[in-house]
Amino acid sequence: MSKRRPNQKPGTRLAHAGRDPERFHGFVNTPIYRGSTVLFPTAAALEANDQEYTYGRLGTPTVKALAEAIAELEGGHATLLTPSGLSAIATTFLALLSAADHVLVTDSVYRPTRRFCDSVLKRLGIETTYYDPRVGAGIKKLLKPNTKMVFTESPGSQTFEVQDIPAIAKAAHAAGAMVVLDNTWATPLYFKPFAQGADVSIQAATKYIVGHADAMLGTITANEAVWPKVAHTHDELGLCPGPEDVYLGLRGLRSLGVRLARHQASGLALAEWLARRPEVARVIHPALPSDPGHAIWKRDFTGASWLFAVVLKPASKKAVAAMLDGLELFGMGYSWGGFESLIIPFDPSTYRTATHWNGEGLALRLHVGLEEVDDLKADLEAGFARFATNS
Ligand SMILES: *Cc1c(COP(=O)(O)O)cnc(C)c1O
């Protein structure tokens, strides 16, 4: 495999990490390995069971290529692949928590993560407390003797609160708790989880890493201390993503840098334009200096992704529906991270418990795709015209 080279920039490593053309007759990409059975050459080899590959579920060269690349980019010890982002999150909880443990989870967490805590963890006798994502060093007051984990997601789902991960990690580690981060929004390119204090970093690779809305995939990257626990549970649960999906993860990864740069520029241009619109009460985007999370984002992140929110001024449901229904470039759908623009309305007030959502009007989450930004503006502008005639 291509050696880790700390002197090369992440953008360069994206093109080379996890690749070893010499092993594959010079072909640039690691092939798709399909397989359940792996043969052993001798009875002694079978007994020793120590060859590189032993069973399809436990890994193939395709899996190894993506896992090595992600581990290198995130800056962790090693990486496991799972069939979805949610299965990566669920596996991490199951690996690191036991009955009678307590876990602190950010109130801005991806909603299905919250459902997992409220259903499976509860059934197993693991207590969840939701906390304000902006708690920072104040997390100290919420840590109990049996708190084993602080789960973070920065910026948070839908409402994009930026978390002070170094401050949270400092307090959690002092109390003997681990820090897990859902790093999907920033990707390892824009936030280095282990350098900032996380013990485990999760990617819903479905989103930016696959990047083309055509596969589901998750990754769990751990530091050396936590690695054996997550690796054993991952093995015991029998998780293995399909070979094509792993390949699509590798394929997407190679262009992640240029896609992110383009989406970031378009996303920021659109966010600034939206902030000046009379229909908009405010824009939630950590890269805007007016955003409450801007200072921490600037300190800890090296870029912003193109998923953000706008809060509209109070308007009728009919006006918003007229705006959304006629959009030609922005599709309505949930799984972001692909090349195409998306928009959905959302209302966090129905399920948050530790924080109070202050929405002046309806909130919209935008995912700015790779289309030309002028065309996207024109699409939204026509939407605002329909909004006005239906108000
Ligand atoms: C989408 C998403 C997930 C879940 O990923 P899936 O691959 O859809 O299961 C987890 N965390 C965040 C922040 C997400 O946006």
Closest CA to 306 of 356, 355, 269: 269
For ligand 1, atom 8, the nearest C-alpha belongs to: 85
Cα–Cα distance between 62 and 71 in angstroms, integer?
Answer: 14
* 92 Cα–ligand 1 center, Å: 14
CB 163 within 8 Å of CB 152: yes
Q: How far apart are CA 131 and CA 348, in angstroms?
A: 15
pLDDT in tens, 89-146: 999 999 999 999 999 999 999 999 999 999 999 999 999 999 999 999 999 999 999 9
The pair of three-digit structure tokens given for residue 95, joined into one six-digit string: 């690996």
Residues 303 and 343 in one domain: yes
In angstroms, what is the span from residue 204 Cα to ligand 1's centroid?
5
Contact 109, 357 (CB under 8 A): no
67 shares its domain with 179 = yes
User: Is 90 exceeded by the pLDDT of residue 306?
Assistant: no
Distance (Å, whole) CA 383 – CA 199: 44
Q: What is the DSSP letter of 351?
A: T
Residue with tokens 């080899």: 45
Q: Are residues 93 and 151 in the same domain?
A: yes
Termini Cα distance of the chain:
60
**Per-residue pLDDT tens over the stretch 213-236:** 999 999 999 999 999 999 999 999
Instruction: Classify residue 4: in a domain, yes or no.
Output: no
Q: Which residues line ligand 1 (CB under 6 A)?
A: 84-86, 110, 153, 157, 182, 184, 204, 206-207, 216, 218, 335
Rounded to the nearest 5°, which phi and psi values hold at 93? -60, -50
For residues 215 and 269, membership in a common domain is answered with: no
- Both 305 and 385 in one domain: the answer is yes
- Taking only the tens place, the pLDDT of each residue in 265-298 is 999 999 999 999 999 999 999 999 999 999 999 9
Q: Which domain holds residue 217?
A: 10-254
Number of domains in the chain: 2
pLDDT at 4 over 80: no
Express each pLDDT in 45-89 by its tens digit: 999 999 999 999 999 999 999 999 999 999 999 999 999 999 999
Evaluate whether residue 2 is within a structural domain.
no
Q: What is the value of pTM for the model shown?
A: 0.97
Residues 254, 14: contact at Cβ < 8 Å?
yes
Residue 331 DSSP class: B
Same domain? 218 vs 190 = yes
Q: What confidence tens digit (pLDDT) does each residue in 357-375 have?
A: 988 889 999 999 999 999 9
Q: pLDDT at residue 2 above 80?
A: no
The tokens for 227 are: 């690695």
Q: Is residue 5 part of a domain?
A: no
User: Is the same domain home to 248 and 372?
Assistant: no
Instruction: Single out the catalytic residue among 107, 182, 199, 300.
Output: 182
> Does a structural domain hold residue 124?
yes
Query: Residue 274: is it exposed, middle or buried by C-beta count within 10 angstroms (0-12/13-18/19+)?
Result: buried
